[in-house]
Amino acid sequence: MVDYKNLYKKYLNRKHKLTFTKDQVVERVKRKYEATEFQKEELLDLVNDDQLDYNKITLCLSISNANVLSKVFTEEEKADQQEQVIDNIKFPLSSKKIKKDEYSYNQILIAEQEGKRINIILESKDNKYISEFLVRGNSMLINRYLNAMIVGSLLEQGTAEYEADLNDDYFQFYLENLDMFGLLK
């Protein structure tokens, strides 16, 4: 059982240190997960994404180092990826049936499905703080890390979808993530 009251006390003592700028988040993700930048135009479906404002997407990062990837997926995520590998072998993508300009995009999607690549898309409405993010490649660990790094600034600015309320499930999730990544010490 998680002691949310204790986590909340730690949060209150450190909350002034839990607001990270866009540049700080990007630098930490690059260092921790060996992420590299890529152009948002490579992901053809992003323009239609209903979670992010395409014009406010400030940066895209990719994690493709096999050693890093082997540590960021749960066993369940790895099993799902293995199923995708089998499906992709049974039903391979035919380059003859795909438009030439969509082939590399489809290779990115396959790499995401098979656990060979994680894409992180960052949105910033003010170009100083991250306002929203999207993780493609299904890694709960990466999602949780970004939540821990980003929600503090949203709460500070009053733009979070929830408040720092100990009874709120989303805030409890944030506290758990802060604790998981040692940000409450």
**pLDDT of 161-171, one tens digit each?**
999 999 999 99
Cβ(150)–Cβ(20) under 8 Å?
A: yes
What pTM does this model have?
0.94
Quickly list H helices, the chain: 4-14, 22-33, 66-72, 75-90, 103-113, 140-157, 169-180
**151 has a pLDDT exceeding 80:** yes
Residue 138 DSSP symbol: -
With 0-12 / 13-18 / 19 or more C-beta atoms within 10 angstroms meaning exposed / middle / buried, residue 35 is buried
pLDDT more than 70, % of the chain: 100
pLDDT band with cut points at 50, 70 and 90 for residue 94: confident
Q: What is the pLDDT of residue 144?
A: 98
Report d(CA 7, CA 52) in Å as an integer: 30
Burial label for 142, CB within 10 Å (0-12, 13-18, 19+), is buried
